[in-house]
Structure 1
Amino acid sequence: MNAQPDPRHDIDGDVHVSPSYLASTTGTGDPALAPLLALGWNLQCDEDPNVYVSAPDRRVRLGYLPEGEDDGLWRINAYTDSFGPPAWGVCFNARVPSEFVTAFTTALAAAYEQGPDVYLARPVPGQGERDPFLPLVPLLKQGWEFDRPRRGVFAAQAPDGLAGLEFATGDLDPAAELTTRDARWQLWAGKSVDRPVWYATASTGTPIALLTAVTQRVADPAPLPRWRQDTVSYIKGMAQLTPIPPPSPPTPTPLDVQRAVASRRPAGLPAVSVPRWSTTSRPALPSPRR
């Protein structure tokens, strides 16, 4: 029987951060880009370390912009007309936990494979999977509290008050939704929505399935691994850091034991076979001497 692999061998970090929404970014964009690149999306870079990824039909575009003009590290837009204005836009700023961005791009890749009727599906109130209140549900199921912080805004807030999701009603400026935090949805973590450590925004037309994929990941109670030396000061003050024990050595298999014995045997000596128990009758003992 083969020994079971220890999952701790694959953990990239030495502490677990909980709650997960206080874990911040891992500092790498590769995991979030992988679901789209696996579909054959085109990748280009500029003279700065900015990365641009576009769908084959050019109707969905992603920018990973560490050298952008603001703190919007990830910007994803979709278009009904590849030469027209965006049908929807999503932004994750530079400190959003990387796993949350990956949850979005994974859902986006799945939606793109199903076609424009899915990745361009506009929210419709009261229409089941397209209802705009649906992204709040995974959070409320994990004990987040329903709130109405101000007129025209519905929200779910974490029990510790350090994260929230807001949904704005009424008419919004389409251009402002794509370039500011005045968007239909805003997810945040920190002391308050006015002074967030990180935030993510989504405009009015963003498909509900994509938003729900993110809130489901945020609602997951499992902590996230991080390296202690890379953990920023605000996390140490608000989050719980639990050391990750080093992985235990794997349990040796019978083949490992056989190889170890063979490696310690002096050269030139034959292998010694191990006697097995027998179920046959024992030979007769000699008669005692007279």
Structure 2
Amino acid sequence: MTDPTQIDGDVYVSPRYLAGLSGHADCSFDPVAHWPHYHLDAGPCQLVIASPDHRIKIGWFGDDYDIWQVSAAADAVSQAWWTARINQNTPPEIVHGLTSALATEWDENSVSFLRTPSPSWADAIRPLLDAGWERKPLTRGVLEIVSPDGLAGASIDIVSSGPHAEPVTLWAGPPGWGTRTEVIFSARTPKHLIAATAAAFADPTPVARYRDDLDPQLAKLAHLTPVQPPRPATPTPLDLHRATAARPAPALGTRSASRGSTTTLPPAPAGPPPPARHR
């Protein structure tokens, strides 16, 4: 569970696919934070994070439209077997779904992130169907799955072929430079990796954003809930008992106090003055 004292935002955005890119926190690289990082001084790609054997590469193009570009290859120098392009409107929490799956699957002997055991496109979008997204009739070779609010979906071109085709697009938001989220997968992307990304789309958990960072058009479409500061926890009877037991006992006076007394006794009164001497 997220620590409420570490929330980076003043509103929760739901559904999360309308939250856009956060201007303050980027969790997309968290699952691969332990992989080697390469900061580039020149060119549009500003950062490359690679698996230790360089078979998986995640490029960050911070000033471009497709700001994440992910690829996997048979070895460090071979051409990419599959690619994913993710644009600048995509919430990092959705990218996290893909990078988390890659970080979990990678090891020196793994090839599961290169091959898919399933020939069915249904397996790629299974999380969307399980979440109640509607499958539309096939139109001109394109299969559409749309969210209940009509603001997100998956488009699968089952006709295009060839290793460089990009038949799968996960999308959200209305068309436009600042509003449309797109994650585009090439033909040989393993279905379970597409499904991991789709599951992040369908995740009902809202995400935190600062209201001023939201595109106004997305803000009108999304449900915004103010982030409330955490309330102090109400002490339980056990908490009160422990607090009382931990208090130091008050100091007693020089005279003995009766059992159960918690106050210091007053000093004893002075006796009568001695008799005066007569000469």
Short-chain TM bin = 0.7 to 0.9
Per-residue deviation, 1:174: 3.7
- C-alpha distance in structure 1 between counterparts of 2:178 and 2:209, whole Å: 23
- C-alpha distance in structure 2 between counterparts of 1:205 and 1:185, whole Å: 10
1:83 aligns with 2:77: yes
- C-alpha distance in structure 2 between counterparts of 1:6 and 1:132, whole Å: 34
The question of whether the paired residues in 2 share the 8 Å contact of 1:164 and 1:189 is answered with yes
Candidates 128, 135, 145, aligned match of 2:124: 135
- C-alpha distance in structure 1 between counterparts of 2:71 and 2:234, whole Å: 49
Instruction: For 1:78, give the aligned amino acid.
Output: A
Per-residue deviation, 1:124: 3.7
Q: CA deviation digits over 1:124-164, x for unaligned, max 9? A: 42xxxxx3321222112222110146311112101121111
Instruction: For 2:157, give the aligned amino acid.
Output: A
Within a 5 Å distance, the mapping from 1:83-232 to structure 2 comes to 83-113=77-107, 115-122=109-116, 124-125=118-119, 131-148=120-137, 150-172=139-161, 174-175=163-164, 177=165, 183-191=166-174, 197-232=180-215
How many aligned residue pairs are there? 251
Look up the SS of the partner of 1:119 in the other structure: coil
Greater C-alpha Rg: 2
- C-alpha distance in structure 2 between counterparts of 1:17 and 1:214, whole Å: 19
Percent of matched pairs sharing the same residue: 31
The question of whether the paired residues in 1 share the 8 Å contact of 2:128 and 2:199 is answered with yes
- C-alpha distance in structure 1 between counterparts of 2:104 and 2:148, whole Å: 32
- C-alpha distance in structure 1 between counterparts of 2:125 and 2:2, whole Å: 35
Instruction: For 2:20, give the aligned amino acid.
Output: S
The question of whether the paired residues in 1 share the 8 Å contact of 2:53 and 2:108 is answered with no
* 1:44 matched residue in structure 2: 38
- C-alpha distance in structure 2 between counterparts of 1:6 and 1:109, whole Å: 21
- C-alpha distance in structure 2 between counterparts of 1:28 and 1:114, whole Å: 34
Per-residue deviation, 1:29: 6.8
Instruction: For 2:170, give the aligned amino acid.
Output: L
- C-alpha distance in structure 2 between counterparts of 1:203 and 1:6, whole Å: 34
Per-residue deviation, 1:97: 0.9
Candidates 199, 220, 223, aligned match of 1:240: 223
- C-alpha distance in structure 1 between counterparts of 2:163 and 2:98, whole Å: 21
Normalised by the length of structure 2, the TM-score is: 0.78
**Which of 14-23 and 147-156 deviates more?**
147-156
* 2:274 matched residue in structure 1: none
Look up the SS of the partner of 2:31 in the other structure: helix
* 2:17 matched residue in structure 1: 21
The question of whether the paired residues in 1 share the 8 Å contact of 2:8 and 2:24 is answered with no
* 2:277 matched residue in structure 1: none
* 1:285 matched residue in structure 2: none
1:270 aligns with 2:251: yes
Per-residue deviation, 1:6: 9.1
Instruction: For 1:270, give the aligned amino acid.
Output: A
**Structure 2 CA distance for partners of 1:241 and 1:256, relative to 1, 3 Å:** farther
**Which of 99-108 and 220-229 deviates more?**
220-229
**Structure 2 CA distance for partners of 1:204 and 1:29, relative to 1, 3 Å:** farther
The question of whether the paired residues in 2 share the 8 Å contact of 1:136 and 1:155 is answered with no
The gaps in structure 1 that reach 5 residues or longer are: 126-130, 178-182, 277-290
- C-alpha distance in structure 2 between counterparts of 1:193 and 1:123, whole Å: 36
- C-alpha distance in structure 2 between counterparts of 1:35 and 1:141, whole Å: 25
The question of whether the paired residues in 2 share the 8 Å contact of 1:147 and 1:157 is answered with yes
Per-residue deviation, 1:166: 1.2
**Structure 2 CA distance for partners of 1:100 and 1:257, relative to 1, 3 Å:** same
**Structure 2 CA distance for partners of 1:117 and 1:243, relative to 1, 3 Å:** same
Per-residue deviation, 1:184: 1.7
